[in-house]
Structure 1
């Protein structure tokens, strides 16, 4: 990058106190988007560390989870340790035989337990147009070499908090000796107890004081909060859902700002002192290798950052299963093998998740998946599935006279009308049982529409519930641990989605009886409401929405437009891996069309490489269970391989392998440890029949 571009960076970030001259680098200065103080901690790598919080590789894989000395008053260090433990295990399969400790893990390629000494810097930041705090963090390992600096971005996956990418981009970057910069992307736990006023400080501890900076408070006056509590006691507002900021539109900017914060931290630590508390900037984008990375929502954020990187901060991109909503381009199609040509690609996240939330509960009972889908019977009571099918049939939303016929039609609708890959059918039931699509549908409908908690979109709120599904005050112990235990998108850590419009009384959504059917059908009426908002018309009648519903649906559509990805990576070298069986982010609407869009936009200038991994899916943690371990391999292994390929490309000018399908071999039983035979490398020169190609306006994927 040219010196002029560095000067542009300095001016934009507020780092400069002087002019930018070739012979006089500017002074280091805290970026003006940082709000408040920067917290600093050093970890010795023996009693505590950056990667494992002192637990080491063995501790991360062990149960029970680390405990608090005082369960009601955990210290910041205890909350951090539990957050790292939970976030690592939420994304990485640590069960013996699944690859942990051999193909990945803190101890792989490291000494001892893989504990890493270094410094950690934590702060709040904001983006233009919003005053809602976003967490940003930089970790600098003691192994960092200021003469050969490198940096890796680690925006959180899903709606997780600041440690959400500790086991993915964090682990890889720290073991390389790179600084790692994290952001929660305006998500994270960020709970606001509307009854008590309690909210999390940046370190996860609770406060009810309005004078203290916290991760999130609902934008309600005292009188408005009192009115809300009078009709809906014991409810929570949640940062991602209720900040009214549509944080996803700024996920790329959050990553770019985290990089700028990283440069500030590095120059505070290594920049040449001039006296008077001034330091010269000696580590800058011109001499630092920067890889934008992470997985899922974090991977999508890094892709968006590369699209928006006008200052040339990013050298390369390596991500896994990126959540991107590509701009819809009907100028190209997708075809897998000799299968049907797919024209209806690039549906939005809210579009396909609301479809899954409506029809998947019935599809779980289809003969094709009912007994074959792992964990289906554990997570999805057949009686509820039958009720969902009956309610859908009575509304004309599935066809058939029997349960089998109705369930099979629900599965057909998802596969044929919504472009859900058949490879996803066996994993979709467990995701429904875990309320993945349901929670995404509620959270993102609120976020895209910039709805406040007081708007009660589709009569859905958030609260703790008892064994019968009724709303109850959260226990003090459960609330104290929310920062460390919640994934940022309820239902999580004891806070559930509540259907206020359920027949009888407000009830946990999964147990709700719909007023239109008087059936315990997973509150289908509420899920149909969310689906109607997403598609812009009433799902049952097909009529246009009116009144507040029409206004909210239009706002949601506008919010989705704000998050659409352009596909223009500015010619940056980029690689990403995706599992063909991804049942959370269907690849015909995310990974595949993003690659196709990029080919359309950048053409011969494109430097994007796409690796589709067979027998891999979105949540490797499920591979620790029988029935899943038998069929699937860890995508995490290929994510690290993608990072290694990008590193070799940027440091040694090694060519990136062509786009391809990687044909893994399932191990067949959870008792059979994974070996290299199961996990063939991404091929340097793949066979012709394995190559993914874009030609004649079609993305062609080998079978």
Structure 2
């Protein structure tokens, strides 16, 4: 099950939680530098990956509350154990990692198992699971769930190995991802191009990370062995895609999990209101920019031409710009979008996330190789005029640390199938047709989506689901609400916290315009973990269902009163 195993020691100025950066170092705007930009060491890449992933998930800005109102970032010495794991039937491995603190609590015997949020690499849940579990003496097991920033440079024929080093593809290179064909130009990456539809196996990825944790605990702590699921507490936690992954793990057979906490989960469940990520993402990519001005959000440059082009294509109706905006908003309302979700969804419009997600997931669900996207998209380093070029050695070396697992970003962009004069609408319309149409490609993509459908959690397993009511990337009406309803209808013990004034991205709360009106979600995840842990110790009850009436901080430092944490 496991290969390419490695062990490293981390202490002093290179601890488990932040590689010695601490809160002040993580707040620094520039990433940790490499001595040799083209040949960074594994230690330098790890430090930079931790910096990137902390900043991509948590609000660390002064006044945001981290370290004062909730959370902490102590120096935690310990060891890391790494490996590739592979689920049966998959062509590509996923990375697994165990962080074992020197202060492991031998009496409690606790493992926190987690999956990266979004498509991030192996440290993509450090701010969620590591920040909570490591200071408490728990070991923390991670999986990148078949995603991650293991990009492959097609021009150079190079990928990333187990030690995060760039290497030439060969039979003995031990790369974390090698596409089925290495010919061509540009960049291939695991989430889109593994041809495994990794989302269908997210639950099994989490289970394998837990298996890896027990195996390594038995090796590392022989005096306390054996570690088994019967005598070791295992709590699964994740947010976003990681939240969806731990809910998928919850449905697996066997008495191996003790509790699950899922924040803002990307999960597809059968039931009223449920919609797949691909469905509402491709809808948002087309319609949301035109709808937002009706909610008081300034129009982006060129929007009038885009809305007029959509009208000419029959996607919108309206004799003028205002009427076209109203029609876009009405169409989104009709499919379940709330104004709160649309306002927060403007973040994804501004950062081109709807297109990025649609392009990546079309390939993933349809199991297409890098050179066969059904709508003609490709990925590459880009010139200033958006034409493709070969990546530089320095760009290639930094991808594993800087990449989020879904371009654009870290020097990799999306190549649109049509000239820029098309305003991108041919590609966006094609992606929408993959959901709405009925040709072979549409059936292929929808089959992949269906493979990700969640089932009810195992009977008797405590599950806590937490979601912001203003989430604009993974709206609760399409995801967690149908899941909770399905699970409760099946008689499962699922508790549901709905957090007012919380959207999807804590990291964006450092921007004053977002921090003023939204509260972070991480405090509720940490608190839910505290209460679940106390419940398992016999010292408290599971969290009760709650709609939490938070209070926006309106430019002031966050306080406990803003969070209105349920008692």
- Matches of 1:442 and 1:85, distance apart in 2: 27
Q: Please point out which of 363, 370, 377 is paired with 2:291.
A: 363
Task: Tell whether 2:228 aligns with 1:284.
Answer: yes
Match of 2:10 in 1: 43
Residue 551 of structure 1 and its aligned partner are, at CA, apart by 1.6
Which deviations, in whole Å up to 9, do the C-alpha atoms of 1:617-671 show, x marking residues without a partner?
11011111121111011111111111111111111341123211000000112xx
SS in 2 for 1:462: strand
- Aligned pair in 2 of structure 1 residues 70, 582: CA closer, same or farther (>3 Å)? same
Aligned residue number for residue 105 of structure 2: 145
Q: Which residue of 2 aligns with 1:509?
A: none
* Alignment partner, residue 421 of structure 2: 513
8 A contact 1:256–1:305 mirrored in 2 = yes
Q: Deviation at 1:363?
A: 2.0
Matching residue within 543, 560, 567 for 1:676: 560
CA shift, 1:219, in A, is 0.3
| Structure 2 counterpart of 1:320 | 263
The match for 2:418 is 502
In structure 2, distance between residues paired with 1:675 and 1:171: 20
Which among 441, 445, 448 is matched to residue 362 of structure 2? 445
Aligned to 1:5: none
CA contact 2:248–2:454 (8 Å) conserved in 1 = yes
In the alignment, the residues of structure 2 paired with residue 175 and residue 408 of structure 1 have an alpha-carbon distance, to the nearest angstrom, of: 51
Q: Which residue of 1 aligns with 2:544?
A: 658
Larger radius of gyration: 1
Task: Tell me if the contact between 2:79 and 2:100 (Cα under 8 Å) persists in the aligned partners.
Answer: yes
Quick one: distance in 2 between partners of 1:401 and 1:209?
A: 56
Q: CA RMSD in A?
A: 1.4
- Give the secondary-structure state (helix, strand or coil) at the position aligned to 1:120: strand
Contact 1:368 1:408 (8 Å CA) reproduced = no
Number of matched pairs: 566
TM-aligned CA deviation for residue 382 of structure 1: 2.4
Structure-to-structure mapping, 1:576-655, within 5 angstroms: 576-602=465-491, 606-655=492-541
Of structures 1 and 2, the one with the larger relative CO (CA 8 A, separation 6+) is: 2
Match in the other structure for 2:180: 219
> C-alpha distance in 2, partners of 1:43/1:215?
23
Match of 1:427?
Answer: 344
What residue number does 2:145 align with? 185
| Superposed CA offset, 1:474-498 (max 9, x none) | 2222211000000001112111111
- Is the 2:517–2:552 Cα contact (8 Å) retained in structure 1? yes
CA separation in 2, counterparts of 1:318 and 1:525?
A: 40
Q: How do 1:510-589 residues align onto structure 2 when only pairs under 5 Å count?
A: 512-514=420-422, 521=423, 523-535=424-436, 537=437, 545=438, 550-589=439-478
State the distance in 2 between where 1:88 and 1:75 align.
20
2:48 maps to which of 82, 103, 116: 82
Cα distance in structure 2, aligned partners of 1:144 and 1:352: 43
Q: What is the CA-CA distance between 1:513 and the residue it aligns to?
A: 2.3
Secondary structure in structure 2 of the residue aligned to 1:318 = strand
Hey, what does 1:133 align to over in structure 2?
93
Unaligned runs of 5+ in 1: 1-32, 108-113, 273-279, 330-342, 372-376, 504-511, 515-520, 538-544, 684-703
Name the CA distance, whole Å, in 1 between partners of 2:515 and 2:21.
26
TM-score (norm 1): 0.79
Q: Residues 569, 415 of structure 1: CA spacing in aligned structure 2 closer, same or farther, 3 A cutoff?
A: farther
Q: Distance in 1 between matches of 2:192 and 2:296?
A: 32
Question: SS of 1:560's equivalent?
Answer: helix
Could you tell me whether the CA contact under 8 Å between 2:16 and 2:79 is conserved in 1?
yes
Deviation, structure 1 residue 281: 4.3
- Report how far residue 218 of structure 1 moved: 1.1
> Which of 277, 292, 301 is the matching residue for 1:382?
301
**Partner SS state of residue 427, structure 1:** helix
SS at match of 1:314: coil
Q: Distance in 2 between matches of 1:397 and 1:285?
A: 53
Structure 2 counterparts to residues 8-47 of structure 1, below 5 A: 33-36=1-4, 38-44=5-11, 46-47=12-13
Give the CA deviation at 1:368: 2.0
Q: Distance in 1 between matches of 2:249 and 2:266?
A: 13
CA contact (8 A) 2:371 2:378 kept: no
1:237 Cα deviation after fit: 1.0
Please, which of 157, 175, 193 is the counterpart of residue 197 of structure 1? 157
Measured after TM superposition, the shift of residue 188 of structure 1 is: 0.3
**Cα deviations by residue, 1:402-434 (Å, 9 ceiling, x for unpaired):** 212212221221122x21122112221221121
Counterparts of 2:297 and 2:326, CA distance in 1: 10
Show the counterpart of 2:198: 247
Instruction: Work out the CA distance in 2 between the residues paired with 1:451 and 1:496.
Output: 19
1:64 deviation in Å? 2.0
Deviations 1:257-313 (A, max 9, x none): 1111100111111224xxxxxxx94221122111011111111111111111x2211
Pairing 1:265–2:265 present: no
- Does 1:121 pair with 2:81? yes
Question: Deviations 1:488-533 (Å, cap 9, x if unpaired)?
Answer: 011121111111x313xxxxxxxx222xxxxxx2x01101101100
Shift of 1:367: 3.1
Q: Normalised by the size of structure 2, how large is the TM-score?
A: 0.97
Instruction: Give CA deviations for 1:297-343 in whole Å, capped at 9, x if unaligned.
Output: 111111111111x22110001121111011x23xxxxxxxxxxxxx5
- Report if aligned partners of 1:49, 1:115 keep a CA contact under 8 Å in 2: yes
Alignment gaps of 5+ in structure 2: none
The 8 Å contact of residues 366 and 444 in structure 2, kept in 1 or not, is answered as yes
1:303 aligns with 247
Aligned to 1:493: 410
Q: Distance in 2 between matches of 1:71 and 1:419?
A: 47
Shift of 1:69: 0.6
1:145, distance to aligned residue in structure 2 (A)? 2.0
